[in-house]
Structure 1
């Protein structure tokens, strides 16, 4: 049984119920579900229940997945642009959470420049992943990942306040990866898709 996914489903159902509750009875029952899902997550993570309070802000609207946008950028030698995260000291292709007020392609271009110093433009979408379908570490949120192929247009490699450094890597000598953000299998699939524009977008 996928306990983490069960927790996410219970959480989403309960929060939806709270949004649309018509009376005190419905509020009470859905709040019980919220509390149960919090207990389940705490048990899975072996952490105190209060550690998950920030994931249970009072719902204002129908809960939906979070969206992570990331860019595969290759240089003339076929090397992959990667950024080293200060948070965990591990590497990922550049990207991050989608921002309200910006399209996915606008966000990914902004993230690339902010994290690596490289200016880029979007070529096309390579894949749309459901994080649940891949062996990422457990995470409370339900996440969709939009993976873009971007073309470098200028700029100079650098880090920023949350990135130690940015570098180009050969596919056969990847650095230690931040597997919460990207997996080696995903990078290999994205490079394969980038080299075959006739292939359709991969969707989970």
Structure 2
């Protein structure tokens, strides 16, 4: 579902980053810098990101480029799913964020739920591993894998956080405005289906 221009920009960026990592030739190094600049210009032309932001995104990592991992927790209570309101855009998402070094995916899910909603949960089941570009998210400069983990509510109370201003449980037919860079309506439907059919295997891609 990803636009061709975005796929090409990411591929150019990936080639440039690999080249900058492994080349020992000064001439090639300059060419890879130009390739990275070209990919940034494509991103600036077709997205809301400015060149400074894009350049920072494209130059803050070194070494062989790999997908980033976004871990999201699916917490159900009485048939409703937990959402948090993101301060960044004023819309709603599942608790979660980038995977942290030193934590397993389940530990990240548990930590993010408590930090963003105040609730205490235990990770129970892998629901899905999704490729961001295969789903109707807005364009992103990153190639992202989304890991969805079902968690059981065991305690805690609703609370705000640095990144979120509210939280609540919503039924599938009463969803709040979604932060589509983080979660989509079709993905929410998938999570409800997996939750209601525990014998189904995890979804991938």
Q: Would the TM-score normalized by the shorter structure come out above 0.5?
A: yes
TM-score using structure 1 length: 0.94
Q: Do the aligned partners of 1:83 and 1:163 also contact (CA within 8 Å) in 2?
A: yes
Q: Superposition pairs for residues 110-149 of structure 1, below 5 Å?
A: 110-149=111-150
Residues 128 and 48 of structure 1: CA distance in aligned 2, closer, same or farther (over 3 Å): closer
Pick closer, same or farther for the CA change 1:141–1:153 going to 2, 3 Å: same
Q: Secondary structure at the match of 1:74?
A: strand
Query: Residue 10 of structure 2: which of 8, 11, 16 is its match?
Result: 8
Where does structure 1 differ by over 4 angstroms across 4 or more consecutive aligned residues? none
Gap regions ≥5 residues in structure 2: none
Query: Kindly tell me: are residues 4 and 151 of structure 1, through their superposed partners in 2, closer, same or farther at Cα, counting changes over 3 Å?
Result: same
Alignment of 1:1-204 (within 5 A): 2-45=4-47, 48-57=50-59, 59-75=61-77, 77-204=78-205
For residues 6-61 of structure 1, the C-alpha deviation after alignment (integer angstroms, 9 at most, x for no partner) is 11111011101110112112212211211111111111126653342211226431
State the alpha-carbon separation in 1 of the partners of residues 148 and 49 from structure 2.
32
SS of 2:188 mapped into structure 1: helix
Determine helix, strand or coil for the equivalent of 1:153.
Answer: strand
> Which sections of structure 1, spanning at least 5 residues, go unmatched?
none
Measure the CA separation in 1 of the matches of 2:181 and 2:15: 25
User: How far apart in 2 are the matches of 1:58 and 1:25?
Assistant: 22
Following the alignment from structure 1 to structure 2, what is the Cα–Cα distance between the partners of residues 78 and 17?
A: 50
How many residues align structurally? 203
Q: Deviations over 1:85-142 (max 9, x none)?
A: 1111101111111111111111110000011111111111101110000110111111
Would you say the 8 A contact 1:19–1:59 is kept in 2? no
Q: Secondary structure at the match of 1:137?
A: coil
